[in-house]
Amino acid sequence: MKRWMMVLGAMAAMNSGCGEIVFNPIQNGSWESTPEAIAPIDEAPDEADDGASPPHVIALRGSDVDFGSLHFSPTLNPHPWADPDALVLFFSSAVQQCSQPVLAMEVGATCDLAPAWQHILMIPPELNGPGVIDLSVLRVGFQQFMLMDNCSGGGGTGNRYWGTLEIVESDETSLFVKVRGTDNANFPIDGDHTVQRCGT
């Protein structure tokens, strides 16, 4: 430290021809005057909430569903959704009515709900019980459809989906289910759902 101060003193004594160079020395390990505090850098704001809300979910027995309003691919005979004891789960971004669970979402015609989506899962009776259901088994049917802001849209139907559905609790009026691993941003049905049973 003394050597450094001697160097500073020597430099201060030098004359460059343009006037004496003067340094404010450090005293006792601190500045002669306290420097202004540096303003902290603003932290990045928390990621904005996208406003997405949990889907509405209702459940019907197969015998209570108008299958004429569905458009499942006829790859199985008999169809699992035609069984009166099948569990039919309706997930949607819009409110669904037990009296008319299949939403009217015709591209270019019924745009009142846009943007909206609906995903229907058909669980055959032999899988309808407490525990984890593999949605990729052949006898699980599904239908999904979505409408965009501009009233365009699309969807699909078929057998075998992906992910799992766990029936945790079930009684005459409701179910509590956990959906995992479907990982579809257009039809975000993953999560824990308390499901109203229609027809009770």
Task: Note whether 30 and 68 are same-domain residues.
Answer: no
Stretch 86-115: mean pLDDT: 84
Q: What are phi and psi of 9, to 5 degrees?
A: -65, -40
Is 106 contained in some domain?
yes
> Is 132 domain-assigned?
yes
Structure letter (DSSP) for residue 149: T
- Both 106 and 13 in one domain: the answer is no
Amino acid sitting at position 98:
C
pLDDT class for 27, splitting at 50, 70, 90?
A: very low
Q: How confident is the model at residue 34 (pLDDT cuts 50, 70, 90)?
A: very low
Tell whether 21 and 64 lie within a shared domain.
Answer: no
More confident residue, 34 or 63: 63
Q: Is 163 left (phi over 0), alpha (psi -120 to 50) or beta?
A: left
Query: What pLDDT score was predicted for residue 148?
Result: 87
Q: How far apart are CA 53 and CA 38, in angstroms?
A: 41
User: Taking residues 137-163, what's their average pLDDT?
Assistant: 87
Based on the fold, state whether residues 100 and 179 are members of the same structural domain.
yes
Looking at the structure of the chain, the number of domains it has is: 2
Q: Is residue 154 part of a domain?
A: yes
61 and 131 belong to one structural domain: yes
Query: Is a pLDDT exceeding 70 seen at residue 146?
Result: yes
195 Cβ neighbours under 8 A, 6+ residues apart? 57, 58, 59, 89, 174, 175, 176, 177
> CB neighbours of 144 closer than 8 A, spacing ≥ 6?
117, 118, 119, 120, 155, 156, 157, 186, 187
Q: Are residues 10 and 81 in the same domain?
A: no
Structural tokens at position 111: 């745009």
Residue 54: other Cβ atoms inside 10 A: 13
Supply the pLDDT for residue 187.
Answer: 94
Radius of gyration (Cα) for the chain, nearest Å? 33
Q: Is the pTM of this model over 0.75?
A: no
- pLDDT band at residue 194 under the 50/70/90 scheme: very high
Would you say residue 41 lies in a domain? no
pLDDT (average), residues 160-184: 95
Residue 40 lies in a domain: no
Please spell the DSSP secondary structure of 168-179, one letter per residue. EEE-SSEEEEEE
**Does one domain contain both 172 and 137?**
yes
Q: Please name the amino acid found at residue 2.
A: K
Same domain for 146 and 79, yes or no, is: yes
Is residue 153, in this structure, part of any structural domain at all? yes
Which of 107, 92, 94 lies closest to 150 in space, CA to CA?
107
Q: Is residue 46 part of a domain?
A: no
pLDDT for 199 = 82
What pLDDT is stored for residue 155 in this prediction?
85
Q: How confident is the model over 129-154, as a mean pLDDT?
A: 90
Give the residue numbers spanning the domain of 70: 56-197
